[in-house]
Amino acid sequence: MTDSPLVPPLARPTSGEATHDSSHGASATSAASVLLEARSLNKRYRKGGAVIDVLRGASLVIKKGEVVSIIGASGAGKSTLLHTLGTLDLPDSGTIHYGGRELTSLSPSELADFRNRELGFVFQFHHLLPEFSALENVMMPALIRRLPRQDAHDRATRALNDVGLSHRIEHRPGELSGGEQQRVALARALVLDPPLLLADEVTGNLDERTGEEIHELLFRLNSTRGITLIVVTHNRSLADRMSRRLVLHNGLIEERA
């Protein structure tokens, strides 16, 4: 990390004109513009002769600034759906429009660039690189974007500060608690200011209080930055605090009041 190659600076992208007019996803009721639209997603897995139809025509529309939960039984396909929306995995059929662009027809390198510019991901497991410090882990997406090293450093410092970890930036993941590791993962997801954050059971491995703190952080990000949140959870009380709840059932997405 300390001797990463010299890379040319890139101008800051003009991505995601996210509206910053929401609080806790309250803009769900306003005429906010559409950020993400998935239509008729189908996804089938084959495993040892068995066929699993995980998504069977799932559709959804997410507006800028919304806070949306996705709930569903274990194995219902929530992670598959989130990975598909985030283009980590492509659907067998169906379309995903984001900011006017259709994603499923982009090339792998275009998709990687799209993810780097538009999305933050946080997973149940933090996926931090163990041999790097918290700061270096958080700098990583910015270095991948080829931002100048000082800029990456400053952004990472800010992001770690935003998640309350400014006193731990030199620690490696193994020297941090589970909650702190997830905060680092969250800071890494936020370091490039993505318009959309996808979170998959991010507090599944944390005790209740630590999980609650992470949830508060997520909500604060929405109200202060207008970041759009799609949160997979099986924590019902968390889901109940969001402006929209979607249920994934039998491969389809249903809106729940």
Contact partner at residue 52 from ligand ADP, Mg ion, none, CB < 5 to 8 Å by partner kind? ligand ADP
User: Does residue 233 interact with Mg ion by CB under 5 A?
Assistant: no
Q: Which residue's CB is nearer to Mg ion, number 43 or number 78? A: 78
Long-range contacts of 85-91 (CB under 8 A, 24+ apart): 85/36, 85/38, 85/198, 85/230, 86/115, 86/119, 86/121, 86/198, 87/111, 87/114, 87/115, 88/115, 88/121, 89/43, 91/41, 91/42, 91/43, 91/55
Binding residue (CB under 6 A) for ligand ADP from 22, 69, 80, 203: 80
Residues with Cβ within 8 Å of residue 39, at least 6 apart in sequence: 59, 94, 95, 96, 97
What's the min distance (Å) between Cβ of 156 and Mg ion?
Answer: 28
Residues with Cβ within 8 Å of residue 12, at least 6 apart in sequence: none
What's the min distance (Å) between Cβ of 75 and Mg ion?
Answer: 8
Binding residue (CB under 6 A) for ligand ADP from 18, 60, 68, 76: 76
User: Does residue 79 interact with ligand ADP by CB under 6 A?
Assistant: yes
User: Does residue 75 interact with ligand ADP by CB under 6 A?
Assistant: yes
3-class DSSP assignment, residue 62: strand
Site residues (CB under 6 A) for ligand ADP, limited to 17-56: 45, 47, 52, 54
214 to each of 11, 46, 231, how far by Cα in Å? Answer: 32, 35, 12
Contact partner at residue 87 from ligand ADP, Mg ion, none, CB < 5 to 8 Å by partner kind? none
C-alpha to C-alpha distance for 204 and 235, rounded to whole angstroms:
9
Binding residue (CB under 5 A) for Mg ion from 27, 79, 87, 243: 79
User: Does residue 74 interact with ligand ADP by CB under 6 A?
Assistant: yes
User: Does residue 251 interact with ligand ADP by CB under 6 A?
Assistant: no
Q: Where on the chain is the footprint of ligand ADP (CB under 6 A)?
A: 45, 47, 52, 54, 72, 74-80
Q: Where on the chain is the footprint of Mg ion (CB under 5 A)?
A: 78-79
